[in-house]
Amino acid sequence: MKTAIYPGSFDPITNGHLDIIKRACYLFDKVIVCVAENPNKKYYFSASERALMVKESTKNLKSIEVITSKDLIVNEAKKHQACAIIRGLRAVSDFEFEFQLAAGNEFLDPEVEMVFLMTSPGMGFISSSNIKEFYSHGVDISKLVPQIVLDIFKSKKA
């Protein structure tokens, strides 16, 4: 059984993230979505809110597991016997960061492959940062995020 792990902040999960997850499901028998908990990063949503949004957004997909972690992703990959780490690329500007990350991960564990999936056409501009910015200015983000994200945004405003 081929398992891959897809790490990210998912602050919040977007339809771009879901596109990558769905496509990863075609390539691997199991996809573990790892919601990162980096103490050096400031999140809009708590780790439990982010994990809930991911779980709710992926509940209809087979072979998905959602975890949270403060550990290095290569350690999570080893722990879950994942053969690959999935990363999404939106634009050439993402490549340099992802290339450095891949090199670091290869140094830490050369047995775990980095698999890069390009975003689908029309989704390259979607980022969690853009979603939060758009929402804060009253932009309708309903076509860019799952319903659970809208619900949790609205509950924070209440």
Please pick, among 9, 57, 69, 128, the residue that the annotation labels catalytic.
128
41 given a catalytic annotation: yes
Please tell me which residue in 22, 78, 90, 132 is annotated as part of the active site: 90
17 is catalytic: yes
Say how far apart CA 5 and CA 119 lie, in whole Å: 17
Amino acid identity at 19:
D
Nearest Cα neighbor of 89 from 51, 127, 58, 63 is: 127
* 70 in active site: no
Q: DSSP secondary-structure letter at 119? A: P
Catalytic residue among 17, 30, 50, 87: 17
Q: Where is 5: in which H helix or E strand?
A: strand 3-8
Read off the tokens for 15: 């339809």
Q: Are strands 84-89 and 3-8 parallel, antiparallel or unpaired?
A: parallel
Closest CA to 144 of 126, 120, 124: 126
Active site residue 128: yes
Question: Which residues are annotated as catalytic?
Answer: 17, 41, 90, 128
